[in-house]
Amino acid sequence: MRCPFCRHPDSRVVDSREVEEGQAIRRRRSCSQCSRRFTTVEEAVLAVVKRSGVTEPFSRDKVVTGVRRACQGRPVDEDALQQLAQRVEESIRSTGCAEIPSHEVGLAILGPLRDLDGVAYLRFASVYRSFSSVEDFEKEIAELKRAEEVSPNDLGAAQESAAER
């Protein structure tokens, strides 16, 4: 890493500490030529492989953008979106793979989004799974209802949304 001030290629690490709960390391460096200090951040790269074969770094922001679109007009706030993106990242990191096919990112979004908002989930799933007919929606809704019956946590949410109607 070249010094950002004098472009000298060599520097000395004066301090390093873990940030973002150990997912990155921040290093304070001192240039061995001009002695000025600068910071570098080192992070294990989690790559997403798109269908075209192109690889790009995993981005929580991209998850949020995609999900936000599905949440338009729904009672989902920014905090909830950030939390969802964090859950997605955690579940992807826990697979232990450094390269994830993009469709698996979509898969990792479906579960937390279903917990968050049923309508947003249906919108997202309809695009992601390319629903092609009304029957596809009906099947998914039936499954959604079944899941709500099974989980007592979701039951509260279901009652809330029923009360809104």
Give the binding site for Zn ion (CB under 5 A).
3, 5-6, 8, 31, 33-34
As a three-state string, the secondary structure of 92-137 is HHCCCCCEEEHHHHHHHHHHHHHHHCHHHHHHHHHHHCCCCCHHHH
Closest distance of CB 15 from Zn ion, Å: 17
Nearer to Zn ion, 3 or 63 (CB): 3
Nearer to Zn ion, 32 or 65 (CB): 32
Nearer to Zn ion, 34 or 127 (CB): 34
Closest distance of CB 30 from Zn ion, Å: 9
Closest distance of CB 9 from Zn ion, Å: 10
Angle at which helix 102-116 crosses helix 78-93, to 10 degrees, equals: 130
Closest distance of CB 2 from Zn ion, Å: 8
Nearer to Zn ion, 33 or 153 (CB): 33
- Is the Cβ–Cβ distance between 145 and 161 less than 8 Å? no
Q: E strands of the chain, at which residues?
A: 11-19, 24-31, 37-43, 47-49, 55-57, 99-101
Amino acid at residue number 90? E
Nearer to Zn ion, 5 or 137 (CB): 5
Taking residue 121's Cβ as centre, other Cβ atoms within 10 Å add up to 23
Closest distance of CB 31 from Zn ion, Å: 3
- Checking DSSP bridges between strand 99-101 and strand 47-49, what pairing results, if any? parallel
- Distance in angstroms (rounded) separating the CA atoms of residues 163 and 154: 14
